[in-house]
Structure formats: C-alpha cells, structure tokens
Amino acid sequence: MRLTFAGAAGTVTGSCFHLEAAGREVLVDCGMFQGLPDLEARNLAPFPFEPKNLHGVLLTHGHLDHLGLVPRLVREGFRGGGACTVPTWDIAQVMLLDAARIQEEEGEAALYSVDDALTSLDLFRTRVEYGEEVDLGGGIRARFHDAGHILGAAFVEVRVEGKTVVFSGDLGNRGKPLVEDPSYPPKADVLVLEATYGDRDHPPLEESVDLLREVIVETLARGGNVVIPSFALERTQEVLYILYQLWREGQIPSCPIYLDSPLAVRATQIFERYTERFPAPARRLFRNRENPFEFELLEYTLTRQASKKIGEDSGAIIIAGSGMCTGGRVLYHLRDNLPRPESALVFVGYQAEGTLGREIEDGATRVEVLGSVVPVRASVHRIEGLSAHADRAILIDWALHADPEVVFLVHGEPPALGTLARELSSRGCRVQIPGWNETVTL
C-alpha cells in the first residue's frame, strides 16, 4: 500500500492524497493551490498519477482547495466514480461551476471548462450521510464522519488490507453556531492530519463575538464602514448569524449590512435547505421562523451596479469575497475603505502566505489593490475565534483519540507543522511531515 502526497504538503492549500492499495487507485480530495505564485503554478503541474487510472475520488468537503481541480481530472481522462456527503455535492455544484466560469475567462491558460465541471459533478453519484459505508471495490471500504468545519464536511476512514487510514480533511473548531463539533476518529493505523492552526489556540467564541461587536460599534460611531472579507462557505453564514443575534439583542446599532458576493448568496441558499443539521440553538431559531439569512438590515447585492452603490455609503457593514482578498468584490471595498482612518477591516478567517489579506494582516502600510497603490489607514482587526479550523489543542486531542502508529502532518505552513509535530511527538506519536509529491509505503 502506497500513499502519495500530491497536495497540501508543506503548505495549506491543494489538498490531494493518492492511495494505491489492493490493485486499485483512490484519491482523497483534489484541490486547488492558492496563495503565492509558485504555489498556484502547481495547479498546472502534471499529476503524479494518471487520472484515467483512478477508480474513485472521495471528497471531504466543498472548499476549492479540496475539490477545485476535480474538473481537471476529468479533462485528463478520469471517468471513475466519486463519493461525498449529500450537502457537499450541493455545495460542489456552486463552487465548481463558479470556478469553471473563472477558468474560462483565462482563455488558453484555463485549467478546465464548464463542461468539465458538469461532467465531474455527474461522476459523484455516491452521496452519503455520516456513518454510511462506501464500497470502492477490491476490498477497499470508506466511511465518512462529521468533521465539523463547514456544512457537510467529513473526515474519511478508509479500510484496506487490514489497515485503517484516516484522512482528517479540515477539522472544525468546537462550539460553532451552524455546525456540530467534529466527531472523534476511530482507532487508526495511519492518520493524515491537517495542521492549519497547529501552532496556536483560538480564543473563546464569546470573546471573539465581543471583539467584533466593539469594532462595529466604534467604527459606526465615527462614520466609517466595517469591511469583512469572508469565505463564501460557512464563514459568511456564521457572520450573518452573529450579526443577527447582536442586532436582535440591541448590542449593535441598526445599519445597512451588505452581502456583496453572488457566490456567498448562492451558498447561503444551500445552508437554508439544511437548517435541521444545525446545532440545537440555531435549529430552534429557524423553527421559530427567525431567519438570520433574511432580516431587515440585510441586503444581497447581486449585480455589479448594486455593488458599486455601496461605495457611496458610510456607516455600513460590508461582507464580501474573497476571504483572503485575492479577488472578487472585496477588492473594490478595500480600495475605497483602506485609505479611510474611520473605517475598519476585520479578518475572520485564515490568511495564507502570499495573499493580499496576509500582507495587510502582517502590518503593511501600503498595498496594491486593483492596480493602484493604496495606503492602509483603516484599523485592521484579526478575530481568530471565528475560525472554522480546529486549533492546536483540538488537533492534539483528536489525534490522540485515533492512537495511530504514524501521523502525517499536512495542510499547514512550516511553523504550524513544526509546532504540532513536536507536540505530538512529546506525547508518544511517530510523526512525519511529507514533501510535495512524496510517496510513502504504509
């Protein structure tokens, strides 16, 4: 049995793991690399396997850095089957078609087309609930378990040749309003574990919500806008939920709240189909016909014309993509608001190395936005407690429950990988940090 780390090795993005066992080849995730130009160049690099030889692809969840290259597999000959959870397939439709449209705008440099994306979606005929087993043939069986993180996210347990290999995908934080806590893993021989926040612990959610409230109240009082770059999936919906609660309880003033991301709007509509999967407090809210995704302050801006009008406002909360400020409508709001000392920029998610968001978060005083150099005079805030990723303490606790013979750390930058490796090693785990396209025998 062999495992090749075709992505998310030594970096946060591009999740892709190629498992060869029992005469078959299975892929867990096939995501895009995002961030630094040399990382994004990997999206064009040859796969270390033949897509046409794959017998199946298992998707952990719907973020692009976990499924964004699946249509490229199709373009290069993949016609095997795919499996994911029911909500993940719904999310994949939105994410892949949006990504394909962007790819087609690249012309000859496009990785794939809308037709490739549609074909790839058709291949994912196996859509499961948590706990259901998938027979991949050759004696390979897989089971999806609740990973928290976002709607439908799973970690994958693969049993083959008498061994259990667990792929964590992205593990969620605990105590989140719209997703349940991650389930604990079964006993594993091999654990492939994400390490995004392997070097730090998150503050409590309540503390983070209070910080967000303070930033909003102070910024609106001085006549500025609060700009929140947000990922379309989960983070946007969670922010809307929190803003609704704060407004309902009178903790923030009434003000326009703009969701300026067509992709996030479509993702929010998917979340509204699955309210019965939310934790109990959120379920009760929706059962009482209260909807944090539709209330009087909130406006969805679907057209470019409506988006441009936001620039004329002061005293508003603006939620826009992309979450790392690498593209999308948030760039226009950054251009308008970064030079304004009365405005505030609030990061509620991870900012990968090489992104504009990371540059601003690290304290840049001037940045390039839409071809112009813009001074950073707005206040900049980082709220870690809203993260959808497990922190160091959760990762350690979760890994120890699996009691693996070996842990492979992935999906992290070097400082996080190194810290988590030392922490797990000190607790008796055998830990390896694989390189990109490295193959190991299990």
Beta strands in 31-153 (DSSP E): 56-58, 81-85, 126-128, 133-137, 140-146
Last residue of a domain, one of 342, 370, 386: 386
Indicate the average pLDDT of the chain: 96
70-80 residue pLDDT tens: 999 999 999 99
Q: In the structure, what pLDDT confidence band is assigned to residue 311 with cuts at 50, 70 and 90? A: confident
Q: Average the pLDDT over 239-254 and give the result.
A: 97
**Structure confidence at residue 168 (pLDDT):** 98
User: 196 with 230, same domain?
Assistant: no
**Structure confidence at residue 219 (pLDDT):** 98
User: 218 with 313, same domain?
Assistant: yes
Q: Average the pLDDT over 334-353 and give the result.
A: 95
User: 106 with 140, same domain?
Assistant: yes
Last residue of a domain, one of 348, 368, 386: 386
User: 317 with 236, same domain?
Assistant: yes
Q: What is the CATH number of the domain that holds 302?
A: 3.40.50.10890
106-147 residue pLDDT tens: 777 789 999 999 999 999 999 999 999 999 999 999 999 999
**Structure confidence at residue 433 (pLDDT):** 98
Q: Average the pLDDT over 398-405 and give the result.
A: 98
* Coil vs helix vs strand at 145: strand
User: 356 with 403, same domain?
Assistant: no
Q: Within 10 A of 427 (CB to CB), how many other CB atoms are there?
A: 11
Q: Average the pLDDT over 360-383 and give the result.
A: 97
**Structure confidence at residue 249 (pLDDT):** 96
**Structure confidence at residue 338 (pLDDT):** 97
Which one, of 264, 412, 262, lies nearest residue 350 by Cα? 412
Q: Which domain range does residue 174 map to?
A: 2-200+388-441
Q: What is the CATH number of the domain that holds 72?
A: 3.60.15.10
User: 115 with 83, same domain?
Assistant: yes
User: 227 with 105, same domain?
Assistant: no
**Structure confidence at residue 131 (pLDDT):** 97
The region of weakest confidence among 50-54, 140-144, 347-351 is 347-351
**Structure confidence at residue 36 (pLDDT):** 83
**Structure confidence at residue 224 (pLDDT):** 97
**Structure confidence at residue 352 (pLDDT):** 87
User: 98 with 247, same domain?
Assistant: no
DSSP 161: T
User: 291 with 421, same domain?
Assistant: no
**Structure confidence at residue 315 (pLDDT):** 95
User: 354 with 401, same domain?
Assistant: no
78-97 residue pLDDT tens: 999 999 999 999 999 999 99
Domain count, the chain: 2
**Structure confidence at residue 384 (pLDDT):** 86
**Distance (Å, whole) CA 236 – CA 150:** 11
What is the sign, positive or negative, of the torsion defined by CA atoms of 149, 360, 411, 135? positive
**Structure confidence at residue 149 (pLDDT):** 95
Q: Average the pLDDT over 348-375 and give the result.
A: 94
* pLDDT above 80: residue 225: yes
User: 173 with 312, same domain?
Assistant: no
Predicted TM-score (pTM) of this structure: 0.94
User: 177 with 306, same domain?
Assistant: no
Q: In the structure, what pLDDT confidence band is assigned to residue 37 with cuts at 50, 70 and 90? A: confident
Q: Average the pLDDT over 179-206 and give the result.
A: 97
231-246 residue pLDDT tens: 899 999 999 999 999 9
Tell the burial category of 305 from Cβ atoms under 10 Å away from its Cβ (0-12, 13-18, 19+).
Answer: exposed
Percentage of the chain exceeding pLDDT 90: 93
Percentage of the chain exceeding pLDDT 70: 100
What's the CA angle centered on 102, arms 237 and 323, to 5 degrees?
35
